């Protein structure tokens, strides 16, 4: 079939910014069948498959794209499924421009193939058209417990269940999905898609127990006593960080975790929701990652007139996914980069009424290789805001490490693992995702879950 030599990606239809900033419906609408075919034809199916080596879960990208070209959508889905348990999620939230698409040969003289968009198309097409109920694998008689039902835990659960393990996933909240349900907003990842992925796992025999805070109601050692032969800890990011500047306890200051949880998990964006939230008119979001973009775009949809991203480095240094930054800009989010808060200001009733900031400039590169921001003396100024959302990262949750003797953590509190298979200092206990790395991405957490599932399988088999 003829290749499509268009240097540009086939654009993905989106809701118009003026409309979408007033609703929580999904922003990106996905390729049509014809668009997917046309975009798939841009792939040169090159021998080295550089894209594949840049995928944290090593999806055989050129092969699934070739199936799309041949209009074998189920075949494409099967290829992705061999490597990824959550394709509909990854197609939407992976930072493709830094992974697979960054190595695409087509990217040298134009735009890379829209791999993420094609992955999403295949997963959505499968969800809408496939009638094959997933088969429950034959049991191998071994039990494994997974702590946390976020992307990492779900991936490990899926892989182990497919190998025949009896898997129980313990979730602290009332709903499974972890950051996919409490963190990432509906307009970026519709919850019905997450639910469908979870239902798929249940259909292959995975048990999900909600309302179970491991470390409190049961300990890791008790999970072993219950007959589990290995345990995977995928408990995620943990406690929100604050800046330790004056005013952070004023009313109207949120952590991004709290703000997003109220909106996403507790549905505070819906009329009649029982969980309250501030409907700020002027909102400052501190931070430049995906979580900051999510919070800013939620604030806009909650009716804010002005939403500022306050970030201490420059536009080029924003850690957020490129598409999120572009979408935020289209939705009139105001980027105050090279700006750092020094104080949150409040009125006599303890409500936020402003944020005092200082201008920054980029100095010498720091340990991370990024140029470190330095304050410009005397450049302080204030922005009038009534809500401040801190999206500057998290520190690991203490509940498991404080109740699991012999589980080593580093000085930040992250669980220490041995190499890539996720083995901790305790025999039979594996860990991965943000609980190990600190706040990172969905796909890296999935990659860790996948590697640990393989290691757990080997461990149990060798144990005899």
Partner 1 sequence: MYRIVKKKSLNPTVSLMEIEAPLIAKKAEPGQFIIFRAKEDSERIPLTIADYDREKGTVTIIYQIVGGSTMELDTLNEGESLQDFVGPLGKPSETEGLKKVAVIGGGVGCAIAYPIAKKLHNMGCEVHSVAGFRNKDLVILEDEFKKVSDELHIMTDDGSYGKKGLVTNALEELIRNGNQYDEVIAIGPLVMMKFVCLLTKKYDIKTIVSMNPIMIDGTGMCGGCRLTVGGKTRFACVDGPDFDGHQVDFDEAMHRGTMYRDFESHARESACNLMKQGEDKNG
Binding site for partner 1 (CB under 8 A): 172-174, 182, 210-213, 216-218, 236-240, 242, 244, 248-252, 254-255, 257-258, 261-262, 265-267, 273-276, 278, 349-350, 397-399
Q: Cβ 300 to partner 1, closest distance in Å?
A: 21
Q: Residues 132, 135, 140, CA angle at the centre, nearest 5°?
A: 170
Token pair 């348990």 is found at 85
Q: Which is nearer to partner 1, 89 or 400 (CB)?
A: 400
Q: Residues 269, 273, 274, CA angle at the centre, nearest 5°?
A: 135
Q: Which is nearer to partner 1, 59 or 237 (CB)?
A: 237
Q: Cβ 168 to partner 1, closest distance in Å?
A: 14
Question: Between β-strands 306-311 and 371-375, what pairing exists: parallel, antiparallel or unpaired?
Answer: unpaired
Q: Which is nearer to partner 1, 267 or 370 (CB)?
A: 267
Q: Cβ 141 to partner 1, closest distance in Å?
A: 25
Q: Which is nearer to partner 1, 340 or 387 (CB)?
A: 387
Q: Which is nearer to partner 1, 88 or 298 (CB)?
A: 298
Token pair 């408990």 is found at 235
Radius of gyration from C-alpha coordinates of the chain: 23
Q: Which is nearer to partner 1, 154 or 390 (CB)?
A: 390
Q: Which H or E element spans position 128?
A: helix 115-129
Between the alpha carbon of residue 397 and those of residues 61, 389, 409, the distances in Å are 35, 20, 11
Give which of 217, 86, 208 is closest to 152, Cα–Cα. Answer: 86
Q: Cβ 181 to partner 1, closest distance in Å?
A: 12
Q: Cβ 399 to partner 1, closest distance in Å?
A: 6
**CA atoms of 49 and 44, how far apart (whole Å):** 10
Give which of 152, 257, 141, 130 is closest to 196, Cα–Cα. Answer: 130
Q: Cβ 437 to partner 1, closest distance in Å?
A: 17
Q: Check: CB of residue 257 under 8 Å from CB of residue 171.
A: no
């Amino acid at each position: 079939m003829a290749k499509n030599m268009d240097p540009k990606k086939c654009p993905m239809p989106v809701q118009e910014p003026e409309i979408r900033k007033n609703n929580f419906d999904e922003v990106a609408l996905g390729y049509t069948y014809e668009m997917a075919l046309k975009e798939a034809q841009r792939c040169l199916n090159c021998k080295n498959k550089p894209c594949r080596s840049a995928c944290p879960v090593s999806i055989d990208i050129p092969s699934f794209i070739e199936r799309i070209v041949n209009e074998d959508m189920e075949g494409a889905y099967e290829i992705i499924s061999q490597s990824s348990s959550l394709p509909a999620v990854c197609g939407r939230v992976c930072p493709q421009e830094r992974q697979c698409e960054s190595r695409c040969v087509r990217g040298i003289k134009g735009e890379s193939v829209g791999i993420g968009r094609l992955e999403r198309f295949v997963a959505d097409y499968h969800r809408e058209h496939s009638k094959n109920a997933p088969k429950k694998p034959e049991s191998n008689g071994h039990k494994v417990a997974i702590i946390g039902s976020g992307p990492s835990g779900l991936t490990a659960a899926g892989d182990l269940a497919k190998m025949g393990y009896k898997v129980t996933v313990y979730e602290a909240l009332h709903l499974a999905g972890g950051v996919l349900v409490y963190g990432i907003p509906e307009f970026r990842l519709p919850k019905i898609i997450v639910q469908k992925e979870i239902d798929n796992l249940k259909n292959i025999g995975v048990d999900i127990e909600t309302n179970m805070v491991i470390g409190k109601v049961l300990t890791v050692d008790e999970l072993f006593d219950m007959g589990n032969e290995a345990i995977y800890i995928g408990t995620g990011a943990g406690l929100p960080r604050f800046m330790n500047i004056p005013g952070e306890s004023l009313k109207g200051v949120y952590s991004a975790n709290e703000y997003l949880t109220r909106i996403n998990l507790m549905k505070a964006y819906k009329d009649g929701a029982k969980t309250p939230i501030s409907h700020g008119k002027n909102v400052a979001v501190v931070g430049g990652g995906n979580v900051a973009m999510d919070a800013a775009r939620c604030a806009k949809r909650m009716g804010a007139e002005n939403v500022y991203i306050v970030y201490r480095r420059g536009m080029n240094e924003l850690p957020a996914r490129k598409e999120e930054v572009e979408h935020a800009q289209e939705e009139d989010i105001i980027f105050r980069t090279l700006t750092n808060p020094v104080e949150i200001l409040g009125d006599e009733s303890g409500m936020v009424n402003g944020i005092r900031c200082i201008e920054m400039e980029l100095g010498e590169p720091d340990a991370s290789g990024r140029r470190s921001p330095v304050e410009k003396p005397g450049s302080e100024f204030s922005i009038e805001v009534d809500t401040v959302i801190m999206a500057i990262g998290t520190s690991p949750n203490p509940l498991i490490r404080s109740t699991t003797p012999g589980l080593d953590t580093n000085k930040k509190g992250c669980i220490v693992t041995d190499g890539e298979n996720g083995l901790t200092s305790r025999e039979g206990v594996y860990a991965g995702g943000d609980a190990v790395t600190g706040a990172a991405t969905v796909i890296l957490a999935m990659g860790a879950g996948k590697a640990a599932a393989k290691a757990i399988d080997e461990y149990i088999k060798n144990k005899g």
